[in-house]
Amino acid sequence: MTPKVSRFLRDAAPATPCLVVDVDRVAENYGRLKAAMPLARIYYAVKANPAAPILGRLVDMQSCFDAASLEEVRLCLDAGARPEDISFGNTVKKESAIQAAYAAGVRMFAFDSEPELRKLARSAPGAKVYCRILVGNVGAEWPLSKKFGCEVEMARDLMVMARDLGLDPYGISFHVGSQQTRTAAYEAAIARVAMLFTDLKDAGINLRMANLGGGYPVRYRAEVPEIDAFGAAIMGAMVEHFGNALPEILIEPGRFIVGDAGVLSAEVVLVSRKEQDDPVRWVYLDIGRFGGLAETEGEAIKYAFRTPHDGGAEGPVTIAGPTCDSTDTLYEKSNYRLPLALDCGDRVELLSTGAYVTTYASQGFNGFAPLAEHYI
C-alpha cells in the first residue's frame, strides 16, 4: 500500500467496499517495466483496469494500448490515445466492431482463425494482422486454456493467406498465462515464434513483430521474481533465437502496471463459527466474488490482507463474500489466518487489487451496488 493510498483511507474514510488506486504508482510501474525491457513497446492491457485516470496517465507516458473490444478502443481514444497506438487484441470480434475500429483509425488486429481473417480482409483492408499461437502456460497462477490461439502449422498457413487476402502479415503473438512466475514459459514460446519467422521467410513473408503478451507477475501473498531478472531472461531468449535480426517487440502488461497500485477497502460484516468449538471462524466481508473479486475463483489469486489487529494472535479462517450464493466464498483451502480480535464492523484492506477487479463486479447481484472506485 503506497503512503498516498494509506493517507486517503485514513483521512477520507470512504464508504466500503471501494477500490483506491494510486495513479502515480501506475506511472512508476510503467517506468520500471520500460527500464527492464527497453526494446519492447508497451501495449497496456486495458481490460485490467480501464479507468480514465489510468488511461490518461499512460497516454501521457506514451504507452500504447491493447483493447479487447470496440468499447475499450473508444475508452482509449477518449483518453487521448492515437488510433495507431491501439491494437485490437481480441481474436474474436464481431465484424461490426472491426469496421468501427477501422473507421476510427485502428490498423492493428489479432486473429487466430480463418473466419476471423476473412472478416479482417473484408472490414479492415490492408491492416497489420498478427496471429496468436497456442503455447504452454505452466507456472501461471491464472493459466489460460486453448480458448485463444491456434496451432503453429495453422498459424503458418493463415499468415500466407493473410498476404493473399491483401492484409499486412505483421507478426505472431502468444500468451503464457496471467501471473506467470517462471521465465521458462516465455523461452519456450519465443523458440516457437522464431521457427515460424523462419518458415514464413521461406514462403516469402517477412514477419516484423513478436508480441510477447502479458503475464508479468505481481506480489500477492508469495514472493515473485523481480521484473529486471524477468526482462533479462526474456530478452536473452529473443537474442538467442533471433540474433541481431530482432523483430519489433510488443508486450501487453495489465496486472503488472495496475495491480499493486490498488487497495480494496472492505468491512467485516460477520465473524462466526458453525459450531461452538470449531477452530475455524467464518469471516464475511462486504465484497466477494461477485463484487469484483472474480479471480479468487478456485482460490487462484491469493490477495494479502491488512486488518486493524495485525500483530495480535491469529487463527484459521474461511473468508466469504456478502451474497446468498455459497460459491461467493473467497478462501477456504488456502490456509488463511486472521487475528482473533477481528470483529463485525472492522475495516480490512486487500492489497494489490488494482487489476481485474472493478469491471468484473456484477451490476447488482443480491442487490449490492457495484464497487466504488477512487483514483488519487
Whether the Cβ atoms of residue 173 and residue 150 lie closer than 8 Å to each other: no
Which string of DSSP letters, residue by residue, matches 17-81? SEEEE-HHHHHHHHHHHHHHSTTEEEEEEGGG---HHHHHHHHHTT-EEEESSHHHHHHHHHTT-
Minimum CB distance to its own copies, residue 243 (Å): 30
Is 344 known to be catalytic?
Answer: no
Minimum CB distance to its own copies, residue 154 (Å): 5
Whether the Cβ atoms of residue 222 and residue 184 lie closer than 8 Å to each other: no
Beta-strand pair 128-132/108-111? parallel
How far is the CA of 208 from the CAs of 126, 199, 272, 302, in angstroms?
Answer: 15, 14, 59, 38
d(CA 370, CA 281) in angstroms, rounded, equals 27
3-class DSSP state for residue 89?
coil
Q: Dihedral of CA 183/188/193/197: which sign?
A: positive
Toward its own copies, which CB reaches closer, 237 or 342? 342
Minimum CB distance to its own copies, residue 326 (Å): 4
Whether the Cβ atoms of residue 218 and residue 256 lie closer than 8 Å to each other: yes
What residues contact 326, with CB distance under 8 A and at least 6 apart?
A: none
Q: Which three cell numbers stand for residue 315?
A: 487463527
The helix (H) or strand (E) run that includes residue 112 is none
d(CA 109, CA 47) in angstroms, rounded, equals 16
Beta-strand pair 262-272/209-211? unpaired
Residues carrying an active site annotation: 324
